[in-house]
C-alpha cells in the first residue's frame, strides 16, 4: 500500500509566511542539529555516572501503561493476547510446541513517556526553528523521531520536592520555582550539572490510581523560570512523577504548557512524564546512574519508556 501514495504534497499551497524572526534559534548545538540536549552526553559522563553505583539496587522509573492508566485527551490503549493457531489445540512439531503472541493499539503518550522534539512547538515552529511542515508526515515524523535518539546514559538526580516541603503530595497548581530547585539541590548535596537528567518527586503520581480525574485535572509542576534555571545548568532531560511536568493551572491563566516550550522547543531538552519516583526517594536522594533505551518504533513523536535508575 505504501507504494501507492498519492503525491498530495504537490498540491500544497505556498507555505504561509515563515515564522517571525525568533531569538531561540538557531540552537546552540548548530543550525542543523536535531538531537538537542542529547549533545550534552559524553563518554566521560557515562564513566562518572557508572561510579555512582554503590549498592546495586535498581529502580524501574516506568509506571504501568494499561487500560486504566489515566491519559491526556483522547489517548487510548488496547492490548490483546493471541494464542497461536486456529483454536483446535494443534501443536507444532514432535516437540509439541505452542505459543502466544500479542498486539496492542496505543497512543504513545500514556504512562511513562519521553517527549521528543517533534512533540511541542511555538506557533507551529519547533526546536531549532523547524516548521511543522518540515518534518510532519501522517505516517510518522521524518525528523526528531524518538527512534533516532541514542540511549540516554548519564548521572540522574532526583529532587525530592515533597520531602523538602514536608508533605506527602504537592497540590495542583503549586509552582516549583527556580529558587526552590536550587534550595533542594543544595540541601540534598546534589548540585545539578551539565548532562544530568533531573527527576522531580512531587507525590502526584499516587493520585493516578486513587483519583484519576483529580490526577488529570491539574498538577503541581515547574514554571518557566524553574525550567529556565534547569536549562541553564545544561541538563539533558527533566522529568517528574506528574503527567505533564508543567504546573497546571498555570499561574498565568493565558499560558498553556509554557514549560514544554521552554525545554523542548527553545532548548532541545527532553521531557519525561509519569515517572515512578516513590521507591527512588524512599531510598534517599543520592545521585544515580540513569539508563534509558527507548524502543525504536520508526517515526514516533513520543515513546512509552521505562528508564532504569541504578545506585
Q: Which of residues 9-28 bind its own copies (CB under 8 A)?
A: 11-13, 15-16
Tell how strand 125-126 and strand 130-131 pair up. antiparallel
Residues 33-92, interacting with its own copies (CB under 8 A): 42-47, 50-51, 53-92
From the list 25-33, 164-172, 277-285, 295-303, the region that binds its own copies by CB under 8 A is: 295-303
Rounded distance between C-alpha atoms, residue 270 and residue 258, angstroms: 14
User: Which segment (127-135, 166-174, 175-183, 226-234) binds its own copies by CB under 8 A?
Assistant: 127-135
Sign of CA dihedral 262, 266, 269, 275: positive
Q: Judging by beta carbons within 10 Å of its beta carbon (0-12, 13-18, 19+), is residue 5 exposed, middle or buried?
A: exposed
Q: Give which of 141, 140, 139 is closest to 131, Cα–Cα.
A: 141
The DSSP symbol for 55 reads S
Identify the CA nearest to 260 among candidates 277, 287, 240: 240
288, HSE (Cβ side, Cα atoms, 13 Å): 27
Using CA atoms of 11, 14, 18, 19 in order, give the dihedral in degrees to the nearest 10.
Answer: -60
CB of 290 closer than 8 Å to CB of 46: no
In whole angstroms, the minimum distance from the beta carbon of 166 to its own copies comes to: 29
Min CB(159)–its own copies separation in Å:
21
**Angle between the N-to-C axes of helices 178-188 and 224-233, in degrees from 0 to 180, rounded to the nearest 10:** 50
Interface with its own copies (CB under 8 A), residue total 132
Q: By C-beta, is 163 or 244 nearer to its own copies?
A: 244
Scan residues 203-222 and list those touching its own copies (CB under 8 A): 212-213, 215-217
Nearer residue to its own copies within complex by CB, 173 or 212: 212
Q: Site mask, its own copies, residues 147-186, x = CB under 8 A?
A: x--xx-x---------------------------------
| Binding of residue 5 to its own copies (CB under 8 A) | yes
Q: How far apart are CA 264 and CA 301, in angstroms?
A: 12
* By the rule CB under 8 A, 189 interacts with its own copies: no
Residue 123 interacts with its own copies (CB under 8 A): yes or no: yes
102-121: contacts with its own copies (CB under 8 A):
102-109, 111-112, 118-121
Instruction: Identify residues 225-264 at the interface with its own copies (CB under 8 A).
Output: 252, 254-258, 260-261
Binding segment (CB under 8 A) for its own copies, from list 8-16, 156-164, 169-177, 180-188: 8-16
Amino acid at each position: 500500500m505504501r507504494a501507492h501514495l498519492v503525491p498530495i504534497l504537490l498540491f500544497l499551497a505556498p507555505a504561509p509566511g515563515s515564522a517571525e524572526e525568533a531569538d531561540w534559534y538557531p540552537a546552540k548545538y548548530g543550525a542543523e542539529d536535531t538531537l538537542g540536549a542529547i549533545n550534552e552526553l559524553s563518554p566521560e559522563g557515562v564513566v562518572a555516572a557508572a561510579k555512582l553505583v554503590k549498592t546495586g539496587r535498581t529502580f524501574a522509573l516506568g509506571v504501568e501503561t494499561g487500560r486504566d492508566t489515566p491519559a491526556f485527551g483522547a489517548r487510548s490503549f488496547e492490548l490483546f493476547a493471541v494464542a497461536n493457531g486456529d483454536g483446535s489445540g494443534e501443536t507444532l512439531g514432535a516437540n509439541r510446541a505452542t505459543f502466544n503472541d500479542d498486539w496492542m493499539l496505543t497512543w504513545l503518550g500514556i504512562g511513562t513517556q519521553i517527549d521528543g522534539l517533534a512533540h511541542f512547538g511555538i506557533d507551529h515552529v519547533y526546536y531549532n526553528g523547524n516548521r511543522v511542515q518540515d518534518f510532519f508526515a501522517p505516517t510518522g515524523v521524518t525528523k526528531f523521531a524518538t527512534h533516532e535518539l541514542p540511549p540516554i546514559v548519564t548521572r540522574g538526580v532526583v529532587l525530592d520536592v515533597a520531602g523538602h516541603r514536608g508533605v506527602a503530595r504537592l497540590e495542583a497548581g503549586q509552582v516549583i520555582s527556580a529558587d526552590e530547585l536550587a534550595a533542594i539541590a543544595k540541601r540534598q548535596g546534589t548540585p545539578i550539572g551539565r548532562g544530568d537528567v533531573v527527576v522531580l518527586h512531587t507525590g502526584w503520581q499516587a493520585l493516578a490510581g486513587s483519583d484519576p480525574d483529580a490526577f488529570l485535572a491539574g498538577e503541581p509542576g515547574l514554571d518557566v523560570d524553574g525550567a529556565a534555571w534547569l536549562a541553564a545548568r545544561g541538563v539533558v532531560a527533566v522529568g517528574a512523577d506528574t503527567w505533564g511536568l508543567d504546573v497546571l493551572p498555570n499561574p498565568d491563566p493565558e499560558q498553556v504548557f509554557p514549560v514544554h516550550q521552554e525545554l523542548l522547543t527553545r532548548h532541545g531538552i527532553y521531557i519525561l512524564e509519569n515517572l515512578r519516583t516513590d521507591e527512588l526517594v524512599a531510598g534517599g536522594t543520592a545521585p544515580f546512574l540513569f539508563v534509558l533505551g527507548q524502543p525504536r518504533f520508526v517515526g514516533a513523536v513520543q515513546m512509552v519508556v521505562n528508564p532504569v535508575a541504578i545506585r
